[in-house]
Structure formats: structure tokens, C-alpha cells
Amino acid sequence: MRDVVAASPRARSLNLGVPGWPGHRAGQHVDLRLTAEDGYQAQRSYSIASAPEDATLQLTIVRVDDGEVSPYLLDELRSGDPLDIRGPVGGHFSWSVDEGGPLLLVGGGSGLVPLMAMVRHRAAHGSDAETRLLVSARSDDDLLYREELAALQPALQPADRLIIARNYTREPPAGWTGWKRRVDAAMLAALGAPPGSNCFVCGPTPFVEAVTQDLVAAGHEPRRIHAERFGPTGG
């Protein structure tokens, strides 16, 4: 590990130097394995947050207070400590700028991480691919990459080629006048993603299933809907 940066009050991004790293596509993940002194092993899958162009491999870890892995990665891991990483893994949930747009990206909680790799990849190439990103978080403290998201949209021109929308399901920030409910069909329709959009949906299983069903019902082609879901783990 090279360094750690804050991604939210409850999450940190680990920047890793991986010798012999073959490169990755935005949206892929890695399997990370920890081995205790007594031989006990724990393995978790983490989406890659960094764009393929970045010099380091970034993983964003959200704390699970009673978990086996995330507290160690966030509290105990130190610069120079080795990690056992396999990857990159996954091909169906990935995107490259040469594939163009339009894109509809919908992330729930830490499901934003692989979508952020796509947005960063887009920015690294100065791409004008039409992109709509909907981020749904429980609260402002749970929103990953808050400052970066706020800076991205006005930095890219024309601004309407990248639309970033937020939704809060439990505790919106003070004065918030935007969406504050579970993601639903009306919310997705308001984003205005045109027919033929490549849709990427990532988050907890119930979230992903509900969003993909709404997208199909709205007329989006099932073959263009890419889903990445995760359930409860040991953290």
C-alpha cells in the first residue's frame, strides 16, 4: 500500500502499487485475501475505484464495524504492508471511452465505486460521452467522493453532457430540496436517459433488482442493462 485518502467519514480509499499489474477496464473488481498468522484466511471482492489511466490501483473500503476485513484495512494496514490481490475480475460490468455513450449510471451506497472509475476514465480522456449518474446514499456522511463529484460536473463542458444527481434515503443534508426517497421509476425517468443508453446499476441486491426492473419497464433494452450486486458479507 502507498497511501490512504478519505472517501467519506466512514470510508477510505487505499492507493496500491501492484507489481506486474496487467491493467483493468473501468468497472472491474479485484479479490483481496488476508491470511492470519494461524493460517486463517478471509477473502473479499472490492470494486476498483481508479481509472485505468491512474498510476496506482485504488480500492475504496467502507467500514463494517463488526466485520473481519474492513476494520483491519482501515485501522491496521500500513504503508508498505503486502496484500494478496487477484484480478482484475469481471468483464460484463465494464466500460471504455471508445464504446461511447449515452450512459446511465445508477449506484446505491458503495455501488458508486465502479461507476466512479467510469466517470474518472471519461474525464481522463476528455470524453464528451453523454452520461447521467444517479448516486443514492443514506446520508451525506455516507456519500462517497462528495467533493470530487461536486467538482466534476462544472469542470467538463458542455455541462449537460455529464449530469450528476443525488438522492438521500434517510438523512438528507440540512436545506436539501432534492430527492429523498428510495430510487423509483419516476426518478429514473426524470434523468432523461435516451433509448439505447448503456445502463450500469450497482449496489445491494434489492436495490439493483428494483432499478433494473424499472429500467426494463421503461423500455430500456435488457441487453444494455449491466448489473453488479452485492449482499451481506463479513465486512
pLDDT at 190: 96
Give the model's pLDDT for residue 93: 96
Predicted pLDDT at 160: 66
C-alpha grid cell, residue 53: 489511466
pLDDT of residue 129: 94
Backbone angles phi, psi at 53, to 5 degrees: -80, -15
Strands in 11-16's sheet, in edge-to-edge order, are: 3-8, 11-16, 57-62
Indicate if 97-230 has the same CATH topology as 3-89.
Answer: no
Kindly state the DSSP code that residue 17 receives in the 8-state scheme: -
The CATH class of 97-230 is: alpha beta
What pLDDT is attached to residue 233? 54
- Please name the CATH architecture into which domain 3-89 falls: Beta Barrel (2.40)
Tens-of-pLDDT digits for all 235 residues of the chain? 678 888 998 899 999 998 889 999 999 999 999 887 788 888 999 999 999 999 999 999 998 888 888 988 888 888 877 789 999 998 899 999 999 999 999 999 999 999 999 999 999 999 999 999 999 999 999 999 999 998 886 665 556 689 999 999 999 999 999 999 999 999 999 999 998 999 999 999 999 999 999 999 999 999 999 999 986 555 6
74 Cβ contact list (under 8 Å, min separation 6): 4, 12, 61, 63
pLDDT at 191: 95
Distance of CA 172 to the CA centre of its chain: 20
What per-residue confidence (pLDDT) applies to 156?
56
Closest CA to 165 of 205, 136, 185, 127: 136
- Global pTM value: 0.94
Cα atoms in the Cβ-side hemisphere of radius 13 Å centred on 124: 16
Q: Where are the domains of the chain?
A: 3-89, 97-230
Question: What is each CA distance from 7 to 40, 90, 144, in whole angstroms?
Answer: 29, 24, 5
> Which H or E run includes 50?
none
Whole-number pLDDT of residue 91: 86
